[in-house]
Chain A
Amino acid sequence: MAPPAQAQRSSSPSQPSGKGEVADVKSQLRNLAGSRAPGVDDSKRELFKKVISYMTIGIDVSSVFGEMVMCSATSDIVLKKMCYLYVGNYAKVNPDLALLTINFLQRDCKDEDPMIRGLALRSLCSLRVTNLVEYLVGPLGAGLKDNNSYVRMIAVMGVLKLYHISASTCVDADFPTTLKHLLLNDRDTQVVANCLSALQEIWSLGGSASEEVSREREILLSKPVIYYLLNRIREFSEWAQCLVLELVAKYVPADPNEIFDVMNLLEDRLQHANGAVVLATAKVFLQLTLSMTDVHQQVYERIKAPLLTLVSSGSPEQSYAVLSHLHLLVMRAPFIFSSDYKHFYCQYNEPSYVKKLKLEMLTAVANESNTYEIVTELCEYAANVDIPIARESIRAVGKIALQQYDVNAIVDRLLQFLEMEKDYVTAEALVLVKDLLRKYPQWSQDCIAVVGNISSKNVQEPKAKAALIWMLGEYSHEMHDAPYILEGLIENWEDEHSAEVRLHLLTAVMKCFFKRAPETQKSLGAALAAGLADFHQDVHDRALFYYRLLQYNISVAERVVNPPKQAVSVFADTQSSEIKDRIFDEFNSLSVVYQKPSYMFTYKEHRGPFEFSDEIGNLSIGTESTDTVVPNRVEANDKDLLLSTSEKEETRGLNNSSSAYSAPSYDASSLSVPTSQLSELAISNPSVSGNVPQPSFAIDDLLGLGLPTAPAPAPSPPPLKLNPKAVLDPTTFQQKWRQLPISLSQEYSINPQGVAALTTPQALLRHMQGQSIHCIASGGQSPNFKFFFFAQKAEESSTFLVECIVNTSSAKAQIKIKADDQNATQPFSSVFQSALSKFGMP
């Protein structure tokens, strides 16, 4: 229907080229316009159909606008509908002509038939021509008061359309207030639902008038309104139910009893035939119980079956979306799904993106009792026709092996892969065997025996080749012909295109040299010479480094290249837990399907910057009551929230390995993060004070464990880096604000320039944003302003929440800081203070 016709595929023979036909139709319409002959409606109908079909295939028929309007005087409802459709499509391009339609649309708005009233009203509001809004107010007002619910329902949506065209007209006519009234009083649930959706959109767009809007939102999320909607939920249409459930998910119940009441009421929604309702209900359950560890776990158990049914019963399109959500839950709480592993078996016909999700879930749910079955199943996929899936399943086997303590059977399977003589299977298996050996060096004998039989000529992929070479170097003392294989590879140095492989070759031949010097000396010389002549900077540098090292002192060189290695206990995860948490908060949204939080893919302007930011208005009530909560209890509660255990292990594992493992370069990427952080902290803390073991404190701090004792008296606290792109959604802010104790309460004074600059809250917002401190809500008028800020540490998810009340007449700012990490409050406070003091400075 887009007016520009050039977007058309002109190749299709059935499509008319446009002009001639349109002119023809135009003249015919003109002839019919005034006619009152019997049967004229039928001919009109044919012509209208033709016009609409031209419009549908993309031909610009806006030139017959006038004739269409002239023919629109009819009682035939189909003609009317076609005409409305046409007018709605072209009015925006022809604002002058659109005026012609107002007359007949307004008349239809007063028709006897409610259907026609409704349709006319809908079309009237869909014209979307700015200078015609004055004609909308009257019919809309009448529509909102119409006896028929069909008309009211359309009128409510009309109000929203009007708001989009001209917000001021809409507000001046006091329509939002009418909608609020209808929301709470209309007996038709579809009208109520439309009010809800319209009001939410209006308020999210009108974020600038924050004070008033925040009060409205507060009312919407208040107990009476939520209960009113919940009690009627069965009367709502399935789509309206989704809307209500989404609202309920944002509701913060006062006490556990309320939570259970809501969940009992919504229990049966999990058995609804519409998947969207089921997911929205699941979201409510998950959100409500976030702070109740054991109930939260029960919720997982409860929503498991409906989700699994949705996956197997829906169309492939639905299955995929549900599966993405299931994937999220499985990744957070794999143990709950460990007995359902068979649901994640891949079917032959499934598209590969589904198989990929299923493979990840199979990997996650593997535990002592089901590993055998899962690995057997995964091995079946290795012979799959779909090569990427075959690769993925071999990797999955490897990941399971790395998770498990009893790897006996798995190693056998992996070694069988090596004997399958398919190049990609061999390649993947080699990479895995390498990882396995790094974690379980005790298996080297069995593995090496098989790896030794692989001809390096059959391995072409750089990653696999690098893995093979690493094993040759590392286990050269156990592999009989390791030096000779390496020699062969070095002879073909020129043909080796991958720098990664050449780097490994250098290291491997070094290692081999220290174990079997006589056999390797010649090839080491050749390798170093080739390396020095290499055009790749890294290869050249490493060769030079080894050469100088050997020149300097052979035994030092040996210690550098062949140090005793400690097994890697846990490999780093690719997706950070912070991102996973954020995706979880956005359950039942596109984020889950993309496996990215929405800030990573939606445009800022579409997110609605102030969308829910003003729910925080009611925070101050909660604050006083939570102040008395013992800090430790809250912290422990937060940490043991069902899912974070694995992440804790992960961080501990990293810590262990990072200090022990120092092999040159090998896959250092997984380890480099903590090491560099450690060193950075150590460097930034040059003045280690007295007998306090400062570095160890830094490590604990880094792990976010929090020390129960008072922080060490650090004379110069480490400079705090804040994440400039920190994101926190208002619900989380709200929850955190209620959970955390106040770690610091202070009063700062503001310099006169700052006072002068603070005419609106927005001025300070922008300034603080520049300092990586973000505002989530603000309000007030001179002289009193109130802000809620938040900030995040640059490297981790530790968050700081700030309530800041500024009084410009006394030039004082009262600050309350709450922090995930109590120890970091002081440094953050100084950052905040300095940021505030710069406000207003040129």
Chain B
Amino acid sequence: MLQCIFLLSDSGEVMLEKQLTGQRVDRSICTWFWEHTVSQGDSPKLQSVIASPTHYLFQVLREGITFLACTQVEMPPLMGIEFLCRVADVLTDYLGSLNEDLIKDNFVIVYELLDEMIDNGFPLTTEPNILREMIAPPNIANKMLSVVTGNSSNVSDILPGATSSCIPWRTTNLKYANNEVYVDLVEEMDAIINRDGVLVKCEIYGEVQVNSHLSGVPDLTLSFANPAVLDDVRFHPCVRFRPWEAHEILSFVPPDGQFKLMSYRVRKLKSSPIYVKPQLTSDAGTCRVSVLVGIRNDPGKTIDSITVQFQLPSCVLSADLNSNYGTVNILANKTCSWTIGKIPKDKAPALSGTLLLETGLECLHVFPTFQVGFRIMGVALSGLKIDKLDLKNLPKPPYKGFRALTRAGEFEVRS
């Protein structure tokens, strides 16, 4: 049971405070929290659950804004954290993005939202579709309308249909002139490659994202050509469990707009699309660096946005690094970032140069880890393929769109 929610700016200023129960939480807790954060040094990743002298704090950091919740009683930690994440998601959804100014400009809406999302410390509804009907988002159309009609209320007059609908995530009377539905497979590849170039670990975390603009109450069925590749799946509440259990078919009545239908994990992949081969050899106080990047397994589509990033060890005094393709930048915090983009046809991108070590140090003992980024449009590297999408309960056949995308998640190459 949460007692209070604070929103803090990136300088620790309290932007918003929402007391939830009779036990008022004093603002000084934020000061304590901020001092605690500062005392943790430059590592911005603070534990999500912290025990302060008087309260237990949940914190979630999004775009520089800290969502802080306090409680004094034992409760499921994930409930606190998940809820704060949802608050952040809903605010992003409402305000278009998330930053200090947006929150300060729209604090009345934020209060209204919190009021509907949590009562007496217990979360009520966090479903954006329902909230949007209770509290209208502050968009341009609304502002136009208010200027024209003189009615400047940003609250819809009617009570949301969904609160009384039997499908809580969808309102009953939706109408679109053009019915369309888009299904995207978005995958992230996490991998660890050791210094011998061996793939130590490689797995994919994927999401099926759906954007639906459909009239009435449509019933959708999505099936995969090869559901067997999936290791573990999680569903949006709209997915019916039995059809999946029996035939591995996703049957659902979609919420309106963009939502995450399913997330999944595919383990034990055997290969990565690109290789990164770093080599570091030290000799008499200097270290020669060479990094080669190339395509290992052609996925059949262009690999773009390739980047390689690594942190220079603290014992390095200066670095002189050049590449035959792309740009190399060494940032103030000793992070070296090499932006490659697409791999050219005629040559293999290579980065080379020397690192000058601290005096007295013969050779490098701490080896950097190279973090690799890339993006491949049109391919789901897990091999998952959508078989078909059937729609029922619709007056006329809608437009259906499918896309796939794979990008690097935590893709690490050790040296």
To the question of whether A and B form a pair in one complex, the answer is yes
* A2-B26, A242-B79 known; A52+B365 contact, CB < 8 A: no
| Residue of B154, B201, B231 with highest tally of chain A CB at under 10 A | B201
Cα distance A315–B86 in the bound complex, in angstroms:
11
Residue in B79, B192, B245, B314 whose Cβ sees the most chain A Cβ within 10 Å: B79
| A237-B108 Cα distance, complex, nearest whole Å | 26
Minimum distance in angstroms from B19 CB to a CB of chain A: 7
Assess the B203–A588 pair: CB atoms within 8 A: no
CB-CB under 8 A from A538, the residues of chain B are none
Q: How far is the CA of A607 from the CA of B157 in the complex (A)?
A: 43
Residues of B within 8 A of A242 (CB): 76, 79
* Residues B47 and A320 in contact, CB atoms below 8 Å apart: yes
Instruction: Kindly state the separation between the CA atoms of A164 and B111 in the bound complex, as whole angstroms.
Output: 23
A81 adjacent to B112 (CB under 8 Å): yes
A7 at interface by CB-CB < 8 Å: yes
Alpha-carbon separation in the docked complex, A601 to B74 (Å): 10
Shortest Cβ distance from A45 into B: residue:
B152
Q: How far is the CA of A561 from the CA of B31 in the complex (A)?
A: 56
Contact residues in B for A42 (Cβ distance below 8 Å): 152
Are A128 and B22 touching (Cβ within 8 A)? yes
Partner of A150, one of B21, B31, B83, B163: B163
Instruction: Report chain A residues within 8 Å CB of B58.
Output: 317
Complex Cα spacing A590 to B1, Å: 12
Taking a contact as CB atoms under 8 Å apart, the answer to whether B200 and A52 are in contact is no
Kindly state whether residue A177 has any CB partner on chain B within 8 Å: no
Inter-chain contact A272/B234, CB cutoff 8 Å: yes
- Given A157-B119, A272-B235, A349-B410, is A589 in contact with B26 using a C-beta cutoff of 8 Å? no
Assess whether A78 is in contact with B77, with CB atoms less than 8 Å apart: no
Complex CA distance for A280 and B265, rounded to whole angstroms: 21
Q: Which of B229-255 contact A (CB under 8 A)?
A: 231-237, 241, 245
A601 touches B371 (CB 8 A): no
Instruction: Chain A residues near B155: list those with CB within 8 A.
Output: 77-78, 81, 115
**Which of B74, B83, B260, B410 is the one whose CB lies under 8 Å from A586?**
B74
- What is the chain B residue whose CB lies nearest that of A165? B22
Of the stretches A303-311, A742-750, A751-759, the one at the interface is A303-311
Q: Are B13 and A313 neighbours in the complex by a CB distance under 8 Å?
A: no
* Binding-face segment, B121-129, B218-226, B291-299: B121-129
Are A78 and B108 within 8 A (Cβ)? yes
Q: How far, in angstroms, from A810 to B346 measured CA to CA in the complex?
A: 103
B406, CB-defined interface residue at 8 Å? no
Q: Give A3 Cβ to nearest chain B Cβ, in Å.
A: 10
| A421 interface residue (CB < 8 Å to B) | yes
**Least Cβ–Cβ distance between B84 and chain A, in angstroms:** 8
Chain A hits for B237, CB < 8 A:
234, 238, 272-273
A interface, by DSSP: helix, strand, loop or mixed?
Answer: helix
Question: A318 contacts the other chain (Cβ, under 8 Å)?
Answer: yes
Cα A342 to Cα B368 with chains together (Å)? 21
B173 touches A (CB below 8 Å): no
Report how many A-B pairs have Cβ atoms within 8 Å: 251
Q: Which residues of chain B come closer than 8 Å to A235, judged between CB atoms?
A: 168
Does any Cβ of A come within 8 Å of B14's Cβ? yes
Are B108 and A315 touching (Cβ within 8 A)? Answer: no
CA distance A350 to B104 in the complex (A): 32
Q: Mark A78-113, 1 if CB is under 8 A from B, else 0.
A: 100110010001001000000000000000000001
- Within 8 Å by CB of B82, from A153, A275, A342, A384, lies A275
CB of A313 within 8 A of CB of B153, answer no
Q: Is the CB of A598 within 8 A of B78?
A: no
State which of A53-61, A519-527, A789-797 sits at the interface with chain B: A53-61
CA distance A345 to B367 in the complex (A): 17
Chain A contacts for B260, CB-based, 8 A: 273
The bracket for how many chain B residues form the interface is 35 or more
Is A330 among interface residues, defined by CB-CB distance under 8 A? Answer: no
81-109 of chain B: CB within 8 A of chain A: 81-85, 104, 107-108
Q: Which residues of A have CB within 8 Å of B17?
A: 1-2, 56
Among B8-34, those with CB < 8 Å from A are 12-19, 21-22, 24, 26-28, 31
Report chain A residues within 8 Å CB of B26: 2, 7
Q: Quick check: is A135 within 8 A (CB to CB) of the other chain?
A: no
- Tell yes or no: A670 within 8 A of B by CB: no
* A197 contact set on B, CB distance < 8 A: 122
Q: Mark B59-71, 1 if CB is under 8 A from A, else 0.
A: 1110000000000
- Residue from A115, A589, A592 whose CB has the most chain B CB atoms within 10 Å: A115
- Verify A353–B205 contact, CB threshold 8 A: no
Instruction: Find out whether the CB atom of B15 lies under 8 angstroms from the CB atom of A56.
Output: yes
- The CA of A203 and the CA of B369, in the complex, are separated in Å by 55
Which of B51, B76, B119, B245 interacts with A601 by CB under 8 Å?
A: B51
What residue of chain A has the Cβ atom nearest to residue B371's Cβ? A348
Q: Is there a chain A Cβ closer than 8 Å to B331's Cβ?
A: no
- Given A312-B265, A352-B43, list of 9 further CB < 8 A pairs? A56-B107, A58-B27, A77-B153, A78-B108, A81-B108, A268-B241, A316-B45, A317-B61, A351-B47
Q: Could you show 8 A-B contacts with beta carbons less than 8 Å apart?
A: A81-B111, A149-B164, A312-B190, A315-B85, A349-B410, A383-B365, A385-B313, A598-B74
Task: State the B residues within 8 Å of A (CB).
Answer: 1, 12-19, 21-22, 24, 26-28, 31, 43, 45-49, 51, 56, 58-61, 72-79, 81-85, 104, 107-108, 111-112, 115, 119-120, 122-127, 134, 152-155, 157, 159, 163-164, 168, 190, 192, 194, 200-201, 203, 205, 231-237, 241, 245, 260, 263-265, 311, 313-314, 365-369, 371, 410, 412, 414
Give 5 nearest A-B pairs by CB, closest first.
A317-B48, A351-B45, A268-B241, A239-B123, A305-B232
